[in-house]
């Protein structure tokens, strides 16, 4: 049997489909699993995005001094985040810096 979701995604507007109960149940389960996977991916992305690193962690990770971090901030390579009185950096920004600047 052709996957029901493929049929629906194919763009046919005027479809009449006869479906067995077990196929409809499987279709429903597949849709629910896709939704759960999307939600897990969204939560993981949000968790990663919210991960903050201290200035010392970033300097150690990148092997640079505080002057280099300051220069990168003034050149807008990195945007610090203030958490109370501490200067922090988003892990995603560090990852992006690695990717864009190929450090």
Number of domains forming the structure of the chain: 2
Judgement on whether residues 57 and 95 belong to the same structural domain of the protein? yes
Judgement on whether residues 41 and 58 belong to the same structural domain of the protein? no
Q: Which structural domain range is residue 81 located in? A: 51-101
Cα separation, 94 vs 60, whole angstroms: 12
Judgement on whether residues 56 and 41 belong to the same structural domain of the protein? no
Q: What is the pTM of this model?
A: 0.51
Cα separation, 101 vs 103, whole angstroms: 6
pLDDT in tens, 40-88: 998 887 776 678 999 999 999 888 999 999 999 999 888 898 888 888 9
Strand partners, 87: 82
Which of 56, 81, 51 shows the shortest CA–CA distance to 66?
56
């Amino acid at each position: 049997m052709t996957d029901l979701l493929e049929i629906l995604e194919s763009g046919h507007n005027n479809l009449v489909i006869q479906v067995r109960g077990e196929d409809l149940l499987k279709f429903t389960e597949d849709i629910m699993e896709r939704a759960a996977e999307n939600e897990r991916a969204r939560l993981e992305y949000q968790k990663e995005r919210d991960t903050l690193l201290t200035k010392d962690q970033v300097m150690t990770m990148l092997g640079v001094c505080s002057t280099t971090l300051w220069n990168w901030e003034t050149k807008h390579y990195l945007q610090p985040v203030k958490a109370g009185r501490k200067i922090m950096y988003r892990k995603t920004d560090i990852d992006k810096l690695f990717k864009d600047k190929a450090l």
